[in-house]
């Protein structure tokens, strides 16, 4: 006796037969008939013709029959709205039934009948049920409000159901509270600004109480709701954390992950030196590890989230590397995620283990996985310097296997290793060249060509190798063609005598026979360069390349912070902000981590180009917060040098920003040999595109030496050489004598004739003579480095002061600093080495040719996404627009256009930094008002703060 | 919240659909089928699949895909957990969760799904509440129902539904009061070529079968609770008491339930109970390969290792094998290349071994990959972590219950690389 018998009547008159049975007098027969109908419905058969007959069976005291009829109703009411009205009376009557189960069932079913006419009748019974004495009915009614809202939002508001629902948050029964929260959260999703869930300490307390007693699902709703709250101070934050931590031991993994979200968010507010902070960190690791022993689908979601957590707080799981080791029968999606996390956790301490594992994976069967494993070895080499050698030898071993895709993948990563550690591992080039013939994927071919071009002087037959590629030039992909062009030009510059013919050939192929504009343009540029000034060409093409940074694939910090607020959600699985992809969430607010008390992070900069700005729908409200917030943020900013030791964001996470801001920008701007990397460095294409067609984008660092050659080529004489009297701040003391065994250093920065100078006053306050001065900079955001030695001519006798002017270049190693304009300096003398850090005004980086063409300005302004715009107020300035303009001009802030509207002057200005980043500005001044408004737009919004500072100092001095 | 559910069998047919909000067309599953086609193995279908208007979240269990459709931002884990709960409930009700069983009980299935979710919000997922609402089908009950005309559906509001102990119904009565606890530990391990342990961890659970009358309040204490620093509890366990005293104190659900699961990962606590000596080699240019495998027990505290099953996915180039087991039987499937050897019990005096040759495709090059060996085994009366229950006490009721504790260790994902 099974239900499958309901499927067996497939004769012709099936519907007719059922109809007869439904109208039978016998209860048992009726029930059997309804069951048959339901069975047909479940498999998608259309039984809507039986509607009136089934509804007739509704009036019954048999609960099972009633439930079955309700099931049917819910499915078909929509297609038979007029008939559905017939059922209303029974519903209304059932809502008065003494049995709470029947009352709840009625209100629940009514809400599922998505027919407008019925909803009118639903209001009264629903109102009663929301106040029912039985909590089971109340909790069902709470959900019904959400259903009704989905059908007719206006009706729900008019009837005041939302207020009743809010009252239910204070209900005595935890299950009712949980359902009210769930219903409100769902309604709030479609009403972004309704402030439905008005969270205050009282409601939070109620939620926390209900949290302990409600079902697992209710706990998820409550925790997700709690995560939206911003505690007033660190104490409240801590007390909430304390009450949420027990949820980490729940058997339901969704509860655990929601609890992790709340803790990760609120932790942000706790001072790091607090004991509790450390305890909490320790408590987070075990539940995350446990998630990995669950079913593979759960593991996948957990791993995607762990990926975020590891980036935000690597310390939590740093000892848990082994749980991420791959089992051979894990599903592929779990394997790939584990691999990614393994690399993120790789450090000097565990690198040997990791490498051994990766090597093991590289011999597996699954091609995708093997490729990723090989790539991972390369990433390890770049991330952990000490392991580079071992990684390279592992890669060589893999190349020996001669498995085609392994070899290709290995060559691609070895190219990256060369970029990170130039001139260190060229000994392997010979091995690579042996495999030249087996390469058939464009990426691998391009990588190999890059290597040959880069090290042409050490490869005897480089010309033959490149020539062999040239034969099928037109069949190659663009990537390979561009690479080949650059490599041959490099080769020519290195060995001009024997390769003249080759370079001619490739230039003509690129410029005459190709219809790809990129290739053609690059060909022409090389051609002009080579014919005008080969020396300049050499300096451009063979210029020292910036090293690639270790973390090219980290999520951009502001996006990461937002995603941390969305742990456990779809956003966390896709690593995109919810606004970018969830349908119907038009007004989703960008969530932010709460600021840590005392320090304050500049979370204010919107997500950069990396998050794929294009994916965010137009309708998203302006990301710039209201002015009040903005001022708050401004005041909160950590402007001082980080001497307090509160580094707000983990530095590893910042690396990515640095790549985007500097590396990426530079690479794509230089455009010659960075192509194969383009994909790895997110964001660079966007930057490139933004400047597409503007010729004046050669990086300024190259600009100086090749000025002549490029000048006539591109006509960018601009402001080069105009002597200006830019504002120079007075010297401040950077190094105190008592901290440096008697050496006192005061200094400032200036830009004179296009050269940056560090003006130093060295004072000897010790008793003995000081000699042998030398200076060195740490890596910094803009690659500042001394252009010459520190010239202190005479030995510095006690109580003597000497003034030194040290010219600086911007070709040093790059690393993003916090704050951006922080410079760490080491000064050595015969006594010791001393360290100090100082802040340089970013205006010293403003180059003289920063004046943009009007059209280009307009296009660029439009092209930069609105999220990158930052608005500031400058107070107490008493200059008119012309005076301001000329003052700013002397600091290389160029006014391109001026517009006057309603007594308000708007100055449009452009600035170019030494690394080729453009900042566009709109300065609004009003006569008689001493407050200026400054809007800055830049592809690297991180610099906005520093630029603002410059405006302030220049305008006020 | 959860919009709809589709059940898809291994041949890609939708055999059941259920909608909790408006009806979503079946065609949404086309995106799932696409992903299914792309996946090399059934288990490789990604669990979250985006479509233009919906997201599909799926789990694969008992060779059935449970595909949930959602439309707004919903925690995927919540959906996945719920789907697993659905499967568990079906299994609980019908004994097995297969396409046939679901089709046979389609009306009960539908009633259950309706009871478990309301408008996409979970309503009743506790097995004992569901069982009060919808009685599981039994042959006897079907007969009785047909005669008396009574129904499968409970008429009363389940008592547990809203109490502070929602997992327990009131008025439970047994003539024999018993409480059994099973401590079951699974070892997940990866052993490398040389026999050293790369990772090893223990996933332990305490499953309980409690049939006690009234409202018993139990406490369970351990000899060595320090082992349990990473635990997940059934909601009935009082967390504060555990935090303070390391004692499990709870009012148990009626019947079978999982009291707690735990995780022991620190390497030195995890003993590896078997070792494997292997020699699987292929020679360049020869169409033969050698295969030798010997198993032995270690660190088993004198307990026997039983139900040993060794399996290995041999390289694709292997045509057939000719092996000689010292005990048990082996099979080799020339299509899937899966070798499995049913060893049985390991006798420490005479270690089981499997030796012989493999024949390769003529002229094929030596296979690149090294097969991984998967081992299953059981050890009775021992928890490999050393966890021991100290005592079980009952308060709140007067009768004397019968108590029992059983220990068992099993292999989870126990893999040896060669």
What residues of A are in contact with residue B139 (Cβ under 8 Å)? 1
Q: Is residue B206 part of a domain?
A: yes
B-chain residue closest to A584, CA distance: B72
Q: What is the strand order of the sheet B217-222 is part of?
A: B247-250, B217-222, B389-395
**Would the CA dihedral through A813, A818, A823, A824 be positive or negative?**
negative
Distance from CA of A603 to the nearest CA of B (A): 24
Label residue A858 left, alpha or beta by phi (over 0 means left) and psi (-120 to 50 means alpha).
alpha
Instruction: Give me the mean pLDDT over the A642-659 stretch.
Output: 38
Which of A7, A39, A101 faces B156 most closely, judged by CB atoms?
A: A101
Same domain, yes or no: B364 and B408? no
Nearest to B17 among A4, A44, A100 (CB): A44
Percent of chain A scoring above 70 in pLDDT: 82
Question: Does B413 sit within 8 Å of A329, measured CB to CB?
Answer: yes
Mean pLDDT of chain A: 77
Interface test with B, best of A137, A165, A208, A249 (most B CBs within 10 A): A249
Task: State which residue of chain A sits closest to B235, comparing Cα positions.
Answer: A250
> Same structural domain for residues B369 and B252?
no
Q: What is the CA radius of gyration of chain B?
A: 25
Per the CB < 8 A criterion, the answer to whether B397 and B216 are in contact is yes
Pair (B225, B252) in one structural domain: yes
Reported as type and span, the H/E element at residue A266 is helix A253-267
Inter-chain touch A296–B125, beta carbons under 8 Å: no
Q: Which residue of B has its CA nearest to A66?
A: B153
**What's the pLDDT tens digit per position in A172-225?**
888 889 889 988 888 887 776 666 777 888 888 888 988 888 888 989 999 998
Q: What is the CATH number of the domain that holds B77?
A: 3.30.450.60
Using the beta-carbon criterion (under 8 Å), do A253 and B72 form an inter-chain contact?
no
Q: Which pair of tokens denotes residue A298? A: 């759960």
What interface predicted TM-score (ipTM) does this complex get?
0.82
Tens digit of each residue's pLDDT (9 = 90 or more) over A498-530: 888 888 888 888 888 888 888 889 999 888 888
Judged by CB atoms closer than 8 Å, whether chains meet at A323 and B153 is answered as: no
Q: Are B191 and B416 in contact (CB under 8 A)?
A: yes
Asked whether residue A696 carries a pLDDT value surpassing 80, the answer given is no
Helices marked H in A691-798? 700-714
C-alpha separations of A585 from A150, A179, A616, A619, B298 in Å: 14, 21, 11, 10, 58
Residues B314 and B193 in one domain: no
Q: Looking at the structure, do residues B265 and B405 belong to the same domain, yes or no? A: yes
A625: closest CA of chain B, how far (Å)? 24
Instruction: Give one word for A159, left, alpha or beta, with left for phi > 0 and alpha for psi -120 to 50.
Output: alpha
Chain A residues close to B48, C-beta within 8 Å: 300-301, 570, 573
Is pLDDT of B415 > 60? Answer: yes
**Termini Cα distance of chain B:** 47
Give the pairing of strands B353-360 and B288-297.
antiparallel
Judge whether B164 lies within some domain.
no
Mean pLDDT, residues A786-796 taken together:
79
CATH code at position B212: 2.60.40.1170
The mean pLDDT of A407-426, rounded to a whole number, is: 86
Rounded Cα distance, A854 and A894, in Å: 12
Q: Are B368 and A62 within 8 A, CB to CB?
A: no
Please check whether residues B243 and B283 belong to one and the same domain.
no
B417:A363 CB<8 A: no
The span from the CA of A659 to the CA of A682, in Å, is: 9
Mean pLDDT along residues A694-716: 38
Alpha helices, DSSP H only, in A748-801? none
Confidence at residue A585, expressed as pLDDT on a 0 to 100 scale: 44
Asked if B283 and B408 sit in the same domain, the reply is no
Residue A713 CB coordination number (10 Å):
17
Which chain B residues are within 8 Å of A44, Cβ to Cβ? 14, 17, 26
**Do A329 and B374 lie within an 8 Å CB cutoff?**
yes
Q: Which residues contact A179 (CB under 8 A, 6 or more apart)?
A: A139, A140, A142, A143, A168, A218, A221, B121
Residue A641 has pLDDT above 60, yes or no: no
Alpha carbon distance A656, A244 (integer Å): 32
Would you state the pLDDT for residue B185? 93
Confidence of residue B152 (pLDDT cuts 50, 70, 90): low
- Establish, for the pair of chains A and B, how many residue pairs have beta carbons separated by less than 8 Å: 264
Contacts of A290 in chain B (CB under 8 A): 230, 232, 261, 263
Could you tell me if residue B155 is inside a domain? no
Q: How are strands ordered across the β-sheet holding A822-828?
A: A774-777, A822-828, A833-839
Instruction: Classify residue B258 by burial, with Cβ atoms within 10 Å: 0-12, 13-18, 19+.
Output: middle
CA distance A487 to A483: 6
Mutate one of B64, B119, B205 to test the A interface: name it (highest A CB count within 10 A): B119
Closest by alpha carbon to A35, among A83, A12, A1, A11?
Answer: A1
Report the domain count for chain B: 3
Q: Is the pLDDT of residue A168 over 80?
A: yes
Q: Mind listing the pLDDT tens digit for each residue in A266-298?
A: 988 888 888 888 889 988 998 998 888 888 999
Three-state SS for A397? Answer: helix
CB-based contacts of B14, cutoff 8 Å, min separation 6: A44, B6, B7, B8, B26, B29
Question: Going by C-beta distance under 8 Å and a sequence separation of 6 or more, which residues neighbour residue B113?
Answer: B5, B18, B86
Is residue B255 in a domain? yes
Do the beta carbons of residue B126 and residue B160 sit within 8 Å?
Answer: yes
Matching residue, tokens 């608005």: A871
Closest chain A C-alpha to B349 CA, distance in angstroms = 32
Residue A718: burial class (beta carbons within 10 Å; 0-12, 13-18, 19+): middle
Sign of CA dihedral A770, A773, A776, A782: positive
Task: Please report the pLDDT score of residue A301 as a whole number.
Answer: 93
Dist. CA A81–CA A48, nearest whole Å? 12
| Distance (Å, whole) CA A954 – CA A886 | 11
List, in sequence order, every beta strand (DSSP E) within A523-660: none
Among A101, A325, A568, select the one facing B190 at the smallest CB separation: A325
Instruction: Indicate the residue among B148, B164, B187 that finishes a domain.
Output: B148
CB contact under 8 Å between B153 and A64, yes or no, is yes
In which band, very low, low, confident or very high, does the pLDDT at B158 lie, cut at 50, 70 and 90? low
Specify if B71 maps to a domain: yes
Query: In terms of residue numbers, what domain contains B262?
Result: 178-270+384-416
Q: Closest to A585 (Cβ–Cβ): which among B61, B73, B122?
A: B73
CB distance B53–A583 less than 8 Å?
yes
Kindly state whether residues B50 and B140 are assigned to the same domain: yes
Mutation site for A-interface testing, chosen from B38, B55, B78, B113 by largest number of A Cβ within 10 Å: B78
Task: Write down the H helix ranges in A268-366.
Answer: 275-291, 296-312, 332-345, 351-361
The alpha carbon of residue B305 is apart from the nearest alpha carbon of chain A, in Å, by: 23
Which residue in A119, A223, A251, A358 has the most chain B C-beta atoms within 10 A of its own C-beta, making it the best mutation to test that interface? A251
Q: List residues bridging with A780 in a β-sheet.
A: A814
B381 phi, psi to nearest 5 deg? 60, 30
Residue A191 pairs in a beta bridge with none
Does residue A708 surpass a pLDDT of 90?
no
H or E element: which one contains A213?
helix A201-213
Q: How far apart are CA B1 and CA B120, in angstroms?
A: 5
Q: What pLDDT, on a 0 to 100 scale, did the predictor assign at position B341?
A: 93
Of B17, B81, B114, nearest to A71 by CB-CB distance is B114
- The reply to whether B208 falls in a domain is yes
Q: What is the mean pLDDT of chain B?
A: 85
User: What is the Cα–Cα distance from A481 to A499, expressed in whole angstroms?
Assistant: 18
**Which positions in chain A touch B18 (Cβ < 8 Å)?**
42
Q: Using a CB-CB distance cutoff of 8 angstroms, which residues of chain B are in contact with residue A143? A: 118-119, 121
Q: Which two tokens stand for residue A842?
A: 């970013």
Cross-chain Cβ contact B190/A327 below 8 Å: yes
Kindly indicate the confidence band of residue B233, based on its pLDDT and cuts at 50, 70 and 90.
confident
pLDDT for res B178: 92
C-alpha A786/C-alpha A777 separation (Å) is: 7
Helices (H), B18-159: 29-38, 76-94, 99-104, 106-116, 127-133, 139-148
Residues B101 and B7 both lie in one domain: yes
Shared domain for B376 and B389, answered yes or no, is no
Q: A6 to chain B, minimum CA–CA distance in Å?
A: 9
Final residue before a domain boundary, out of B109, B126, B148: B148
Residues B108, B66: one domain?
yes
Interface contact A331-B243, CB threshold 8 A: no
Residue B45 has pLDDT above 80, yes or no: yes
Question: CA of A255: which chain B residue's CA is closest?
Answer: B78
Asked whether A485 and A526 are in contact (CB, 8 A), the reply is yes
How far does the CA of residue A244 sit from the closest CA of chain B (Å)?
Answer: 12
Q: Report the residue of A570, A575, A586 to disrupt the B interface, i.e. the one with the largest count of B CBs within 10 Å.
A: A570
Provide mean pLDDT across the span A438-443.
Answer: 86
Of A85, A82, A57, A92, the C-alpha closest to A71 is A57
B153 pLDDT above the threshold of 80: no
Cβ distance of B84 and A64 shorter than 8 Å: no
pLDDT at B137 over 80: no
Peptide bond into A819 cis (omega under 30): yes
Least confident of A388-397, A674-683, B302-311, B357-366: A674-683
A26 contacts in chain B (CB < 8 Å): none
The SS3 of residue B415 is strand
Name which of B18, B50, B231 is nearest A249 (Cβ-Cβ). B231
**Which band of pLDDT confidence, cut at 50, 70 and 90, is reported for residue B8?**
very high
Domain annotation covers residue B54: yes
Q: Cα angle at B319 between B314 and B321, to 5 degrees?
A: 70
Option in A135, A182, A583 nearest B162 (CB): A135
Longest CA–CA span in chain B (Å) reads 78
A699: pLDDT strictly greater than 70: no
Does residue B166 sit within a domain?
Answer: no
* B328-364 pLDDT, tens digit each: 999 999 888 899 999 999 888 889 999 998 888 877 6
Whether residue B162 has pLDDT greater than 90:
no
Rounded CA-CA distance A889/A846 in Å is: 10
Report the pLDDT averaged over residues B394-405: 90
Residue B376 has pLDDT above 90, yes or no: yes
Which chain B residues are Cβ-neighbours of A327 within 8 angstroms?
188, 190, 413, 415
Closest in B80, B164, B372 to A301, CB measured = B80
- Looking at the fold, whether B17 and B141 belong to one and the same domain comes out as yes
Tell me which chain A residue has its CA closest to the CA of residue B155.
A63
Count Cβ neighbours within 10 Å for each residue of A748-770 and write b for 16 or more, e otherwise.
bbbbbebebbbbbbbbbbbeeeb
């Amino acid at each position: 006796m099974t239900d499958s018998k309901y499927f067996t009547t497939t004769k012709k008159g099936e519907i007719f037969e059922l109809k007869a049975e439904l109208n039978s007098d016998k209860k048992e027969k009726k029930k059997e008939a309804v069951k048959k109908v339901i069975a047909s419905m479940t498999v998608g058969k259309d039984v809507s013709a039986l509607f009136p007959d089934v509804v007739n069976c509704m009036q019954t005291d048999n609960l099972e029959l009633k439930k079955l009829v309700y099931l049917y109703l819910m499915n078909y009411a929509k297609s038979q709205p007029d008939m559905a009205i017939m059922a209303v009376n029974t519903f209304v009557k059932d809502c008065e039934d003494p049995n709470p189960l029947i009352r709840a069932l009625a209100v629940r079913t009514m809400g599922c009948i998505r027919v407008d006419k019925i909803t009118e009748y639903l209001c009264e019974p629903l109102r009663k049920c929301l106040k029912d004495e039985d909590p089971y009915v109340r909790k069902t009614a709470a959900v019904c409000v959400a259903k009704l809202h989905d059908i007719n939002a206006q009706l729900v508001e008019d009837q005041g159901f939302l207020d009743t629902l809010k009252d239910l948050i204070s209900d005595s029964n935890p299950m009712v509270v949980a359902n009210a929260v769930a219903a409100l959260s769902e309604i709030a999703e479609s009403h972004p600004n309704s402030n439905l869930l008005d969270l205050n300490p009282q409601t939070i307390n109620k939620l926390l109480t209900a949290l302990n007693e409600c079902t697992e699902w209710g706990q998820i709703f409550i925790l997700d709701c709690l995560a939206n709250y911003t505690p007033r101070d660190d104490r409240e934050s801590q007390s909430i954390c304390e009450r949420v931590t027990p949820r980490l031991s729940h058997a339901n993994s969704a509860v655990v992950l929601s609890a992790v979200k709340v803790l990760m968010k609120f932790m942000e507010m706790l001072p790091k030196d607090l004991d509790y902070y450390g305890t909490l960190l320790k408590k987070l690791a075990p539940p995350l590890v446990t998630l990995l022993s669950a079913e593979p689908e759960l593991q996948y979601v957990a791993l995607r989230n762990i990926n975020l957590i590891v980036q935000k707080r690597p310390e939590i799981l740093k000892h848990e590397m082994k749980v991420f080791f791959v089992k051979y029968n894990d599903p592929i999606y779990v394997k790939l995620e584990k691999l990614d996390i393994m690399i993120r956790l790789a450090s000097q301490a565990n690198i040997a283990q990791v490498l051994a594992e990766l090597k093991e994976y590289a011999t597996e069967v699954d091609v995708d996985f093997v490729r990723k494993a090989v790539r991972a070895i390369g990433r390890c080499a770049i991330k952990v310097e000490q392991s580079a050698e071992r990684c390279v030898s592992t890669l060589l071993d893999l190349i020996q296997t001669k498995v085609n895709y392994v070899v290709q993948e290995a060559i691609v990563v070895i190219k990256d290793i060369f970029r990170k550690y130039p001139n260190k591992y060229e000994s392997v080039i010979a091995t690579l060249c042996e495999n030249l013939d087996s390469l058939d994927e464009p990426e691998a071919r391009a990588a190999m060509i890059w290597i040959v071009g880069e090290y042409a002087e050490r490869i005897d037959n480089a010309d033959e190798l490149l020539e062999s590629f040239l034969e099928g030039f037109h069949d190659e992909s663009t990537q390979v063609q561009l690479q080949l062009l650059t490599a041959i030009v490099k080769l020519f510059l290195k060995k001009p005598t024997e390769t003249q013919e080759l370079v001619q050939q490739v230039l003509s192929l690129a410029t005459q026979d190709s219809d790809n504009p990129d290739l053609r343009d690059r060909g022409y540029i090389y051609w002009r360069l080579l014919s005008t000034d080969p020396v300049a060409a050499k300096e451009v093409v063979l210029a020292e390349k910036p090293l690639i940074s270790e973390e090219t694939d980290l999520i951009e910090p502001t996006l990461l912070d937002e995603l941390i607020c969305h742990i456990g959600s779809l956003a966390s699985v896709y690593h995109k902000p919810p606004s970018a992809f969830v349908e119907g969430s038009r007004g989703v607010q960008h969530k932010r981590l709460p600021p840590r008390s005392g320090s304050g992070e500049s979370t204010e900069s919107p997500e950069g180009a990396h998050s794929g700005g294009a994916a965010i729908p137009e309708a998203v409200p302006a990301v710039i917060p209201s002015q009040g917030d903005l001022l708050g943020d401004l005041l909160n900013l950590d402007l001082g040098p980080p001497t307090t030791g509160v580094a707000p964001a983990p530095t590893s996470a910042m690396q990515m920003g640095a790549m985007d801001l500097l590396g990426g920008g530079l690479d794509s701007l230089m455009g010659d040999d960075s192509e194969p990397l383009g994909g790895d460095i997110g964001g660079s294409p966007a930057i490139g595109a933004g400047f597409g067609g503007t010729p004046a984008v050669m990086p300024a660092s190259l600009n100086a030496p090749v000025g002549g050659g490029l000048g006539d080529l591109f006509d960018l004489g601009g402001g080069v050489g105009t002597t200006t009297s830019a504002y120079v701040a007075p010297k401040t003391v950077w190094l105190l004598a008592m901290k440096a065994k008697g050496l006192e250093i005061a200094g400032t920065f200036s830009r004179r004739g296009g050269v940056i100078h560090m003006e130093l006053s060295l004072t000897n306050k010790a008793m003995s003579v000081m000699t042998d001065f030398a200076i060195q900079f740490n890596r910094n955001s803009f690659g500042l480095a001394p252009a010459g030695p520190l010239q202190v001519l005479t030995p510095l006798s006690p109580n003597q002061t000497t003034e030194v002017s040290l010219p600086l270049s911007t070709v040093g190693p790059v690393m993003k600093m916090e704050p951006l304009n922080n410079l760490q300096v080491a000064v050595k003398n015969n006594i010791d080495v001393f360290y100090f850090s100082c802040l340089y005004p970013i205006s010293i980086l403003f180059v003289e040719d920063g004046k943009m063409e009007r059209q280009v300005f307009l296009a660029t302004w439009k092209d930069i996404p609105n999220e990158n715009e930052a608005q500031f107020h400058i107070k107490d300035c008493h200059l008119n627009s012309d005076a301001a303009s000329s003052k700013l001009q002397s600091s290389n802030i160029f006014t391109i256009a001026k517009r006057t509207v309603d007594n308000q002057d708007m100055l449009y200005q452009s600035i170019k930094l030494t690394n080729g980043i453009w900042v566009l500005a709109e300065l609004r001044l009003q006569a008689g008002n001493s407050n200026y408004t400054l809007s800055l737009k830049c592809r690297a919004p991180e610099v906005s703060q520093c630029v603002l500072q410059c405006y302030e100092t220049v305008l006020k001095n | 919240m959860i919009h709809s559910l589709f059940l898809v069998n291994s041949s890609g047919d939708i055999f059941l659909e259920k909608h909790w909000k408006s009806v979503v067309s079946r065609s949404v599953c086309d995106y799932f089928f696409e992903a299914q086609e792309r996946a090399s193995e059934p288990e490789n279908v990604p669990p979250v699949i985006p479509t233009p208007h919906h997201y599909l979240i799926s789990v694969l269990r008992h060779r059935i895909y449970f595909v949930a459709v959602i439309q707004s931002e919903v925690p995927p884990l919540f959906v996945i957990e719920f789907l697993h709960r659905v499967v568990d409930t079906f299994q609980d009700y019908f004994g097995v969760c297969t396409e046939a069983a679901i089709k046979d009980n389609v009306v009960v299935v539908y009633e259950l799904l309706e009871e478990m979710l309301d408008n996409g919000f979970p309503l009743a997922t506790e097995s004992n509440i569901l069982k009060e609402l919808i009685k599981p089908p039994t042959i006897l009950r079907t007969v009785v129902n047909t005669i008396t005309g009574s129904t499968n559906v409970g008429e009363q509001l389940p008592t547990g539904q809203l109490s502070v102990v929602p997992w327990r119904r009131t008025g439970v009565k047994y003539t024999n009061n018993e409480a059994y606890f099973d401590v079951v530990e699974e070892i997940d391990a990866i052993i490398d070529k040389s026999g050293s342990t790369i990772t090893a961890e223990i996933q332990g659970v305490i499953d309980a079968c409690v049939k006690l009358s009234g409202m018993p309040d139990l406490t369970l204490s351990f000899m060595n609770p320090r082992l349990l620093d990473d635990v997940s509890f059934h909601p009935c366990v009082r967390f504060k008491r555990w935090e303070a005293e390391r004692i499990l104190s709870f009012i148990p659900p009626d019947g079978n339930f999982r009291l707690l699961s735990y995780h022991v990962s620190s390497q030195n606590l995890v003993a590896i109970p078997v070792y494997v000596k292997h020699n699987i080699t292929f020679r360049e240019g020869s169409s033969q390969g050698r295969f030798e495998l010997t198993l032995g027990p270690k660190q088993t505290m004198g307990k026997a290792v039983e139900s040993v099953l060794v399996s290995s996915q041999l390289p694709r180039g292997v045509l057939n094998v000719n092996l000689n087991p010292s005990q048990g039987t082996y099979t080799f499937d020339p299509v899937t290349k899966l070798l499995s050897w049913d060893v049985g019990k390991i006798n420490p005096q005479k270690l089981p071994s499997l030796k012989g040759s493999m024949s390769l495709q003529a002229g094929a090059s030596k296979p690149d990959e090294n097969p991984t060996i998967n081992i299953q085994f059981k050890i009775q009366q021992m928890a490999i972590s050393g966890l021991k229950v100290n005592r079980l006490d009952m308060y709140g009721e007067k009768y004397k219950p019968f108590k029992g504790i059983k220990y068992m260790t099993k292999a989870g994902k126990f893999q040896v690389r060669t």
